[in-house]
Amino acid sequence: MPTFKPTAEQIAQYHEDGYLMVEDLFDAQEMELLLNIGRGDRVKSKLVDNPKDTSGRESKLWLTNDIDTPTIYNAICRSHRVAASMDDLMGAEMYLYHYKMMVKEPRVGGAWEWHQDYGYWYNNEALYPDMASCYIAVDRAYKGNGCLQVLKGSHKLGRIEHGTYGTQTGADPQRVALASKHMELVYCEMTPGTALFFHGNLLHRSDPNESEDPRWSLICCYNAKHNPVRATPGHSEYRKLDHWDDSQVREVGQTHWNELQAVIA
Ligand SMILES: O=C(O)CCC(=O)C(=O)O
């Protein structure tokens, strides 16, 4: 069972780059469980939204702030390797703001415009940008299926003005073009189980899925305890987040999967 605690060097790198990629934060069995549960989850499938990109291509996502149900999602969001690492990287007590499953189906899944997550969350009256996410690759993510792209170090720019482009909220394109002249564009290619911790002000985007491979990912989003925010549907004010042992991903996940199979049968 993988465990993880960021070193002082990794924390410094996170502050410098605005992100930290950790390979194999979850093992193949944990990701297989997550994918099976994600595909068979009738409760979550009722929450699915289909946002369109500027060219009309649809992605699928569900989003929730449920922290109480003993699901594999909560076992991951509460796990020491994610939640305690988030505290270490952000230097603050972080709580789960929400989490979401992002699905880009083969040949169908759409693009995401350049944005900062704080560009969205600012509108929920989050006072500080002391917010961050952990993107977990459930499927392999690579250029062809629209992996995440980031502008390295862009979290240091502060919040950029956001507007509506197509049906999505995006960062001011002129400002992004300016930043792109000075900052390295990194394609975050990831194997299943690899995770990307990234700051709420890091500029990121992704291309549509042009491949035959699906691209599922779970994104766990956290806010600092000291950062007031207005609760909105699916997004929470401060609630203490107890961390669970890393072994719970497998244990809670297996029970979750058994329950789902019983419902499906
Ligand atoms: O899944 C993606 O490609 C992008 C998701 C994203 O940017 C977000 O949820 O903030």
3-state secondary structure 164-198: EECCEEEECHHHHHHHHHHCCEEEECECCCCEEEE
Listed in sequence order, the residues at least 6 apart from 140 whose beta carbon sits closer than 8 Å to its beta carbon are 190, 191, 192, 213
Cβ neighbors of 213 (< 8 A, separation 6 or more) are: 106, 139, 140, 144, 145
Give me the mean pLDDT over the 174-200 stretch: 98
Nearest to residue 29, comparing CAs of 234, 254, 261, 259? 254
Instruction: Identify the pLDDT of residue 59.
Output: 87
Name, in order, each residue with C-beta under 8 angstroms of 15's C-beta and a sequence gap of 6 or more.
Answer: none
Contact call for residues 202 and 155 (beta carbons, < 8 A): yes
CA distance 238 to 134: 18
Query: What is the number of the ligand 1 atom nearest to the C-alpha of 115?
Result: 7
Average pLDDT on 237-244 reads 98
In terms of pLDDT, which residue wins out, 164 or 232?
Answer: 232
Instruction: Give pLDDT tens digits for 19-78.
Output: 999 999 999 999 999 999 999 998 898 889 988 888 889 889 999 999 999 999 999 999
Q: Judge if the beta carbon of residue 204 lies within 6 A of ligand 1.
A: yes
The response to whether residue 78 sits with its C-beta less than 6 Å from ligand 1 reads: no
Q: How far is the CA of 262 from the centre of ligand 1 (A)?
A: 32
Q: What is the pLDDT of residues 169-183, one digit of tens each?
A: 899 999 999 999 999
The pLDDT value given to residue 45? 85
- Extract the tokens encoding 13: 């790198």
Can you tell me which atom of ligand 1 is nearest the CA of 204? Answer: 7
C-alpha of residue 198 to centroid of ligand 1, in Å: 11
Answer whether 117 contacts ligand 1 (Cβ < 6 A).
yes
- For the chain, the average pLDDT equals 96
Going from the N-terminus, what domains does the chain have, and what CATH number goes with each?
11-264 (2.60.120.620)
Cβ(102) to ligand 1 under 6 A?
A: yes
Residue 257 contacts residue 70 (beta carbons within 8 Å): no
- Ligand 1 within 6 A of 209 CB? no
Q: 50 burial class (0-12, 13-18, 19+ CB within 10 angstroms)?
A: exposed
Q: Are 28 and 207 in contact (CB under 8 A)?
A: no
Helices 28-40 + 248-264 axis angle, to 10: 30
Classify burial at 175, counting beta carbons within 10 Å of its beta carbon; exposed 0-12, middle 13-18, buried 19 or more. middle
Coil, strand, or helix at residue 5? coil
Query: Mutate which of 19, 63, 112 to test ligand 1's pocket (most atoms within 8 Å of Cβ)?
Result: 112
Q: Is 148 in the pocket of ligand 1 (CB under 6 A)?
A: yes
